[in-house]
Amino acid sequence: MKRELTKLTLAILFFVFVIGTVQAQQSNPTPVIGPVEQALTGDRLTAELLWSMGRIGEVAVSPDGTSLLFTITYYDLAENKGNAELYTMNTDGSNFKRITFTNWGEYNPVWRPDGKKIAYMSAESGSMQMWEMNADGSDKVLISNIDGGIGGFSYSPDQTKVLFLADVEKISIVKSRYNDLPITTGRINNDLMYRHWDQWVDAYTHIWIANYDGKQLSDAKDIMEGEEWESPVRPFGGMEQISWSPDGKTIVYTSRKKKGKDYSLSTNSDLYAYSVETGKTRNLTEGMMGYDVNPVFSPDGNTLAWESMEREGYEADKVRLFVMDMKTGTKQYLTEDFDQDAHGLVWSADGAKIYFVSNWHALDQIYAIQPKSKKIQKITEGVHSYNSVMVAKERLIGTRMSHASPVELFSIDETNGKQERITEVNTKLLSQLTLGKSEERWITTTDGKQMLVWVIYPPHFDPNKKYPALLYCQGGPQSTVSQFWSFRWNFQMMAANDYIIVAPNRRGLQGFGQEWLEQISCDYGGQNMKDYFSAIDAVAKEPFVDAGKLGAVGASYGGFSVYWMAGNHNKRFKAFIAHNGMFNLEQQYLETEEMWFANWDLGGPFWDKNNKTAQWSFANSPHKFVQNWDTPLLVIHSELDYRIVASQGMAAYNAAILKGLPAEYLYFPNENHWVLKPQNGVLWQRTFFNWLDRWLK
């Protein structure tokens, strides 16, 4: 649940068809999309326009620090597909070029260490494989030919080897017992973690290493052979969880080496160092009990930095910046006096600094820390959120978004913090739209705290009119309501439909210190719900808000919030929308797969009658308040969501119908915790606003 928003850049691989034609000339770097021009009938954002926008994905800086390689994905509603293509440009924003024009998409863009070639993954040959070509897109060559395809790769620094990800099939109980039934579809499970987020666990992703002669891979070896666990750590881990040492002799990787029930109950992932020369592996973080992920070597290879959580079972713990002396094994906690997270670690070229991204007061900025002194410098300012930072020759490169724009690339001058946008992927389209103003407010909560609330106004806002208002309930539950741009929960889309949006950073969100973040654990239905009421009540007093036309909407924990408020809102709201929300916490406890989350946030199992914390949590389950429901409810849920299963949504919808309330149930049989397919996304938006307009306008 937390990771649904903390990971707004999931590597989702589609076999795809390009939308329109993209003109990529230096004089006009903005991609021009034919269907977008036809869809612009006014100056307001629509679902169709939202899905026509280009989405910048993975970005790589060339070895000499002067060029960028990255993907942009466009979607075709008619084909119901997306397509990622490769682009290059100089780090100063000049010489923007599109270098691939295919029907199958390109992913995992990487510069070869010598800078003479670029590499990527593509399914052009039938399965996802590694390809190379010149930086201008010419002379494309297939490098790998791995059965079943690969899921990511990286070169050794000396360019003699390549590591890649490939699945190893899990031994099936059915096949081992009954090999005379080769086409049975039955499954037999005898442990937990048999499915995870949106997939059944039928294989383990392992790291393989192969020789590379500049033309192809050979002699591939599974460095985790015989192990029944994966690296990277599912479901969201990628190549950022694996790092080569600068001398190419060591691979440090992330793994949670547990199985079944043990895996389901623990977040204890560790960093393992594999010796390329000896084939031996050692645990670098043994005894560190939380998540230890995303290792990054210093340029000289003497120091390893990584992101670490302290407590086992707590997936929203503080993300600490640790370093280790690779010769002595001595560890240092660099951000102990910094009450913020540290994400996306990158060393400076001289090894004197580590750059990272951190959220404070709902804004994600770029920081730098000097490992020797532990001195921290805030580099960027402004109302925006950076997702990542990279080091180029004379500047930093960052991916930045806001309530007014999806991700674009920015060049940052570290000496003065000056930020310059160097891509214009969606500028032309956005320049033709009128967007709503996003305003920061601080509202007093019921316990006297100050809470940051974003208020987003409709385009062409008229203070003399009265508008309906929507309370946005965040998921996670521990993920900040930052200056994010979502392609589903998009504040500008809501505002374009003439709603005032009230988006609180209630208790349990990052960026306001650890105490504020942790208050929500074992307090579902408690102070954070009071925070929601404080936010909507304060804004509803404004003369431009129609206090008789308020709605509440949210997904995941936000869906739980909507269900809970449906039984406790005291006539505040006239309409509710809950997407993939928890309805019956007792059932949810036994339906979810990551038991560490349920145990930490709910306090333990519902059958433990001596556990007062758990009993309080389950007593506040939304299904315990259905007798109070009196408000129209739209339920949205998806079959492939194994984190919060579809029966939760069905139960809530059925309860509303049995109560005699107006209700609808939007069900997606082929989506997971998100809605990722274009036509499903447009259907989601249309259903969302049809429901709200019916009850609030």
CA distances from 616 to 77, 427, 524 (A): 46, 50, 9
Q: Residue 373: how many CB atoms within 10 A of its CB?
A: 8
> What is the longest distance spanned by two Cα atoms in the chain?
76
- Asked whether 207 and 279 are in contact (CB, 8 A), the reply is no
pLDDT value at position 29? Answer: 36
Residue 535 placed within a domain: yes
Residue 46 placed within a domain: no
User: Can you tell me the distance from the alpha carbon of 293 to that of 649, in angstroms, rounded to the nearest whole number?
Assistant: 33
Strand partners, 637: 667
- Sheet-wide strand order for 118-122: 107-111, 118-122, 129-133, 141-142
Range of the domain at 580: 434-692
Residue 687 placed within a domain: yes
| Residue 27 clears pLDDT 90, i.e. is over it | no
| Residue 119 clears pLDDT 90, i.e. is over it | yes
Please, which pLDDT band fits residue 16 given cuts at 50, 70 and 90? very low
- Asked whether 133 and 117 are in contact (CB, 8 A), the reply is yes
User: Can you tell me the distance from the alpha carbon of 575 to that of 470, in angstroms, rounded to the nearest whole number?
Assistant: 9
Q: Residue 179: how many CB atoms within 10 A of its CB?
A: 9
> Is the bond preceding residue 235 a cis peptide, omega within 30 degrees?
yes
| Residue 6 clears pLDDT 60, i.e. is over it | no
pLDDT per residue as tens digits for the range 516-570:
999 999 999 999 999 999 999 999 999 999 999 999 999 999 999 999 999 999 9
Please, which pLDDT band fits residue 41 given cuts at 50, 70 and 90? confident
**Quick one: tokens of 246?**
């600068």
Residue 492 placed within a domain: yes
Burial (Cβ within 10 Å: 0-12, 13-18, ≥19) of residue 225:
exposed
Instruction: Please state the separation of Cα 42 from the chain's center in Å.
Output: 31
CA distances from 23 to 99, 168, 325, 593 (A): 11, 41, 49, 45
**Quick one: tokens of 314?**
């707590």
| Residue 35 clears pLDDT 90, i.e. is over it | no
Sign of the dihedral through C-alpha 594, 599, 602, 606: positive
Please, which pLDDT band fits residue 39 given cuts at 50, 70 and 90? low
3-state secondary structure of 530: helix
Write down how long the chain is. Answer: 697
Count helices and strands in the chain by DSSP H and E runs: 15, 38
CA distances from 310 to 128, 316, 631 (A): 36, 10, 43
Residue 661 placed within a domain: yes
Spell out the residues 6+ positions from residue 66 whose beta carbon is closer than 8 angstroms to its own: 90, 91, 392, 393
Residue 598 phi, psi dihedral angles, 5° rounding: -60, -40
Residue 329 placed within a domain: no
User: What percentage of the chain reaches a pLDDT higher than 70?
Assistant: 94
- Asked whether 535 and 502 are in contact (CB, 8 A), the reply is yes
- Asked whether 423 and 68 are in contact (CB, 8 A), the reply is no
User: Can you tell me the distance from the alpha carbon of 161 to that of 283, in angstroms, rounded to the nearest whole number?
Assistant: 23
Residue 170 placed within a domain: no
User: What percentage of the chain reaches a pLDDT higher than 90?
Assistant: 93
3-state secondary structure of 552: strand
Domain count, the chain: 1
Residue 207 phi, psi dihedral angles, 5° rounding: -95, 130
**Quick one: tokens of 245?**
């040492």
- Asked whether 61 and 109 are in contact (CB, 8 A), the reply is no
Closest CA to 61 of 392, 487, 347, 524: 392
3-state secondary structure of 121: strand
Residues 327-347 have a mean pLDDT of: 98
What is the end-to-end Cα distance of the chain in Å, rounded? 32
Task: Indicate which residues carry an active-site annotation.
Answer: 556, 641, 673
3-state secondary structure of 443: strand
Average pLDDT of the chain is 94
Quick one: three-class SS letters along 158-219? CCCEEEEEEEEECCCHHHHHCCCCCCCCCCCCCCCCCEECCEECCEEEEEEEEEECCCCEEE
Residues 430-445 have a mean pLDDT of: 98
pLDDT value at position 23? Answer: 32
User: Can you tell me the distance from the alpha carbon of 582 to that of 562, in angstroms, rounded to the nearest whole number?
Assistant: 10
Residue 482: CATH number of its domain: 3.40.50.1820
Q: For residue 491, what is the enclosing H or E element?
A: helix 491-496
Residue 28 placed within a domain: no
- Asked whether 514 and 318 are in contact (CB, 8 A), the reply is yes
Residues 409-418 have a mean pLDDT of: 97
Q: Residue 513: how many CB atoms within 10 A of its CB?
A: 12
3-state secondary structure of 267: coil
pLDDT per residue as tens digits for the range 243-291:
999 999 999 999 999 999 999 999 999 999 999 999 999 999 999 999 9
pTM for the whole thing?
A: 0.94
User: Can you tell me the distance from the alpha carbon of 697 to that of 692, in angstroms, rounded to the nearest whole number?
Assistant: 8
pLDDT value at position 38? Answer: 46
pLDDT per residue as tens digits for the range 559-603:
999 999 999 999 999 999 999 999 999 999 999 999 999 999 999
CA torsion 682-686-689-693 (nearest 10°) is: 170
